[in-house]
């Protein structure tokens, strides 16, 4: 049985997850990686912006980063069991 893949863009405020794969067009992928969205790092959604809950602010590798859900969807995650 296959489980639907989960992406950072689909996470809600308060969700914590492990980054499984960072993809997307090469420029964006590189930038995401440089900002710390690395496979194996833990990511947590801390804030959601007012209109349409987009962009989101996440904590990853000790910093708080804002990004749009659109780009966040290049980051595949695995929800952590608390």
Partner 1 sequence: MSVNESALPLNEQARSPRFALAGNPNCGKTALFNAITGGRQKVGNYPGVTVERKEGFFTRPDGEQVRILDLPGTYSLDAKTPDEEISRDVLLGKISDEEQPDVILAVADATSLERNLGLILELRALGRPMILALNMMDLARARGAVIDLEVLGRELGFPVFPTVAVNGDGVEPLLAQAMQIAHAAKLSAEKSPAADWKNSTPNEVRDRFATVDAILAKAVKRSARPLIWSEKVDRIVVHPVWGSIILLFILGVIFQAIFSWAALPQEWIEKGVGALGKSVAGLMSVGPLRSLLTDGVIAGVGSVLVFLPQILLLFFFILLLEDTGYMARAAFLMDRVMGKVGLHGRAFIPLLSSFACAIPGIMATRTIENRRDRLTTILVAPLMTPSATLPNYSLLIAAFIPNTAVFGPVRLQGLVMLGLYAGGVAATLGMAWVFKRTLLKGVKPPLLMELPTYKVPSWRNIFFGLRDRCWIFIRRAGTVILAITIILWFVASYPKAPEGALLPPIDYSYAGRIGHAIEPLIRPLGFDWRIGIAFVPGMAAREVMVSALATVYAIEGKDEEATGRALSEVLKSQWSVATAVSLLVWYILACQCLSTLAVTRRETNSWRWPLFMFSYMTALAYVGSFITYRLCVWAGL
Nearest approach, Cβ of residue 1 and partner 1 (Å): 30
In the complex with partner 1, which residue's Cβ is closer, 1 or 10? 10
Q: Cβ contacts of residue 7 below 8 Å, gap of 6+? A: 72, 73, 74, 75, 76, 77
Q: Give the CB-side neighbour count of residue 11, counting CA atoms within 13 A.
A: 31
Residues of this chain that bind partner 1 (CB under 8 A): 22, 26-36, 38-39, 46-52, 54-55, 57, 59, 61-68, 70-71
In the complex with partner 1, which residue's Cβ is closer, 65 or 77? 65
Q: How far is CA 16 from the centre of its chain?
A: 9
Nearest approach, Cβ of residue 24 and partner 1 (Å): 9
In the complex with partner 1, which residue's Cβ is closer, 20 or 28? 28
CB 55 within 8 A of CB 70: no
């Amino acid at each position: 049985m296959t489980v639907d893949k989960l992406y950072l863009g689909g996470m809600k405020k308060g969700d914590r997850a492990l980054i499984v794969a960072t993809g997307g067009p090469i420029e964006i992928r590189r930038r995401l990686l440089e900002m710390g969205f690395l496979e194996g790092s833990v990511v947590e959604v801390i804030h959601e912006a007012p209109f349409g809950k987009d962009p989101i602010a996440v904590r990853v590798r000790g910093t708080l980063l804002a990004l749009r859900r659109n780009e966040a969807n290049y980051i595949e995650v695995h929800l952590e069991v608390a």
